[in-house]
Chains A and B, each alone.
Chain A
Amino acid sequence: MTKIIKILGTGCPKCKTTTALVEEVVKENNIDAEIIKVEDIMEMMQYNVLSTPVLVVDEEIKIKGRVPKKSEIIELLK
């Protein structure tokens, strides 16, 4: 099943790093996933988060407020 990965962020450097990392992981491991960048604050607030970037996998908040490590992302997408 295709995983839906959402990255919530207002466009700060940390958010961009996170997006790049996720894209890398997905590519390198041939993971079937769709990556969506959420930059709209209204949509972001539906997830009730206070700090960005936020990594959401299949509508579940996995990591918030920090850039995840590559190994962490792989673990989350398994």
Chain B
Amino acid sequence: MFNWIQNIADWLVFDVLQLEKGQHLAEALNFFIYDTTKILLLLFVIIFLMGIINSYFPIDKVRNFLSRNKLYGFEYLMASLFGVVTPFCSCSSVPLFIGFVKGGIPLGVTFAFLITSPLVNEVAIGLFIGLFGLKMTTIYVVSGILLGTISGFILQQLKLERFLTPWVKQVLANAQKEQDAFIAEKQTFQERLPIIWEEVLNILKGVVPYVIGGIAIGGLMHGYIPEDFFEKYMNKDNLFAVPIATILAVPMYSNASGILPIVQVLVSKGIPIGTAIAFMMGVVGLSFPEAMLLKKVMTFKLIGIFFGVVTLCIIISGYLFNLIL
């Protein structure tokens, strides 16, 4: 499917630049051109598709759906699934949280959404397909959805309402199944397209520098780190690798676009895939800036419990992947 990109990369490096096959520099450059082109193309397609879905299914509809319907235990899964198609900007997390609470959506269900939304997003999916292939992407997406669902369910059982900040408790007391005068925008596809297009360009503009930077660093490492370099230190039998990778990852706030290409190289050099996935989920799913924002609605204790439960679930899934893959 991507052979033609490889041909372009070969042609540029070996014919136009006249570099010798097998040279470190030539191979690294070839890898860089191939990867960048392929990944930017995939990112474009995925972001565009997600933009279309989101245009017809905005966050307000998600909220109303979760608030109105009795879902008999499936609400966690539904919230998690909605999280996938809704783009998430951590700066919207507070209004979103309050909006959900106001609509009478249980805290655990809200958490399920808040966990999956950044974890499985259009940029991560696009990068994953490009770097790891479809099979790994499916595994990542499905496990991301399950992670949100299960963490949300656990968090609900802990009855955390008492750890909300006082004014949010007030909102909670006045919560009602809404109401809401949300009027779906009745637009034709032609009217929506320019808006979707604009969003696609905005998102791409934001991630392209990171993607290119990440692939460049990855490219250098690819050419210079010997095969199986990491096997000695981070093999599957090392029990501490997964928790260490996860805990290291949580404070990192590189957006996925920069980290993923580097992780891909690490995996090709022998880091077990479960450890790598745990690391990526830690980077993408949880971040300190998000925690600081959530401080407005949650006490430190609640943020701690929230991050703790999610981190634990990530670590467990890391072990699981190492076992089965």
A67 with B202: CB separation less than 8 A: yes
Interface SS majority for chain B: helix
Residue in B59, B63, B98 whose CB lies within 8 Å of A45: B98
Instruction: Report A1-54 residues with CB < 8 Å from chain B CB.
Output: 9-15, 41-42, 44-45, 48-52
B89 with A41: CB separation less than 8 A: no
Chain A 53-66 interface 0/1 with B at a Cβ cutoff of 8 Å (1 = within): 00000000000011
Bound: A65/B55 CA distance, A:
11
**What is the size category of the interface that chain B forms with chain A?**
20 to 34
Does residue B60 face the partner (Cβ distance < 8 Å to A)? Answer: yes
A41 with B198: CB separation less than 8 A: no
CB contacts (< 8 Å) of B195 on chain A: these are: 66
Bound: A12/B180 CA distance, A:
26
Q: How distant is A39 from chain B, measured CB to nearest CB, in Å?
A: 11
Bound: A76/B254 CA distance, A:
36
Instruction: Report B69-100 residues with CB < 8 Å from chain A CB.
Output: 89-92, 94-96, 98-100
Residue in B98, B199, B296 whose CB lies within 8 Å of A66: B199
Q: How distant is A42 from chain B, measured CB to nearest CB, in Å?
A: 7
CB contacts (< 8 Å) of B99 on chain A: these are: 45, 48-50
Closest to A44 in B: B95
B91 with A41: CB separation less than 8 A: no
CB contacts (< 8 Å) of B293 on chain A: these are: 10
B91 with A15: CB separation less than 8 A: yes
CB contacts (< 8 Å) of A11 on chain B: these are: 91
B89 with A50: CB separation less than 8 A: no
A50 with B96: CB separation less than 8 A: yes
Interface residues of B (CB under 8 A from A): 58-60, 63, 89-92, 94-96, 98-100, 102, 167, 171, 180, 194-195, 198-199, 202, 293, 296
Closest 3 CB pairs of A and B: A12-B91, A50-B99, A51-B92
27 contacts between A and B (CB under 8 A): A10-B95, A10-B293, A12-B89, A12-B92, A13-B91, A14-B89, A14-B91, A41-B94, A41-B95, A44-B95, A45-B98, A45-B171, A48-B99, A48-B180, A49-B95, A50-B59, A50-B60, A50-B99, A50-B100, A51-B89, A51-B95, A52-B91, A65-B59, A65-B92, A66-B195, A67-B202, A69-B194
